[in-house]
Amino acid sequence: MMALKARQLTFGHLEGPPLLEKGELEIGKGECVAVTGPSGAGKSTLCHVLAGVIPRSLPGRVSGEILLFGDRLWDLPLAETVRRVGVVFQDPDAQLFFPTVEAEVAFGLENLCFPEEEMARRIGASLDLVGLSRYRCQATQDLSQGQKQLVALAAVLALEPGLLILDEIFASLDQQGAAVVQGVIADYKAKGRAVLLVEHDPENLPVVDRILHLAQGKLREVVP
């Protein structure tokens, strides 16, 4: 079973042309796939669609079929969706809502009603993974843009989603932060989970197994 399988996927915003027309996309377990393409091509919109954010929470036009670990994304309850797919959006400020780092990472776990002990374990483990343990009680707004991005990543990792979607995460990270994310991706692959990475910088592509290019409504595999 594939981690993600999209068939005949067409999507766009309510206004404007479709950003993808009848696209096919597969991500296997243990695979990291990158999506590149010009600014405005619809890469971030694709991330929203594949995570079910469009049309569940944001408006948009979507048709076709998306299977997440074998089940239709749009039929899954929200609690199950966030266990299967997690996204770190391009702009961390759009994703961070809580005063402290700990509260931010705890939120998703609280929503899923994890027992307190398991919650504490997962918060500790995911902050450890991104190297932010010592910031646990700090105000998120005092952190750098890159650190905020890592907090958003920790909050997603805490839910241990089978598919991790990272939208241009390297853009705001320094070398140390980039190494952290590359480690997270390697760990995901080793565990047989899947990663979708929106990325331009060839330096960050060695962790990637396949590259897709989104432009003018078409999604094509890039032959290296």
What is the footprint of ligand ATP within residues 158-197 (CB under 6 A)? none
- Alpha-carbon span 218 to 143, nearest angstrom: 38
35 touches 214 (CB < 8 A): yes
- Residue of 4, 6, 19, 219 interacting with ligand ATP (CB under 6 A): 19
Half-sphere exposure (Cβ direction) of 177: Cα atoms closer than 13 Å: 19
Residue 105 or residue 165: which is nearer to ligand ATP going by CB?
165
- Return the residue nearest Mg ion (CB atom): 44
219-to-29, 158, 208 alpha-carbon distances in Å: 20, 31, 17
Burial of 107 (0-12, 13-18, 19+ CB in 10 A): middle
Rule CB under 5 A: which of 55-114 touch Mg ion? Answer: 90
Contact flag: residue 44 with Mg ion (CB under 5 A): yes
Angle at 23 between CA 207 and CA 215, to 5 degrees: 70
Which of 76, 78, 51 has its CA nearest to residue 62?
51
Least distance to Mg ion, CB of residue 194, Å? 20
Q: Minimum distance between the CB of residue 91 and Mg ion, rounded to whole angstroms?
A: 9
Nearer to ligand ATP, 105 or 153 (CB): 153
**Per-residue mark of binding to ligand ATP, 32-71 (x: CB under 6 A):** -----x-xxxxxxx--------------------------
The conformational region for residue 37 under phi > 0 = left, psi -120 to 50 = alpha, else beta, is left
Give the per-residue contact string, 120-159, with ligand ATP (x = CB under 6 A; - = no): ----------------------------------------
Q: By the criterion CB under 5 A, which residues form the site for Mg ion?
A: 43-44, 90
Give the residues lining the site for ligand ATP (CB under 6 A): 13, 15-16, 19, 37, 39-45, 90
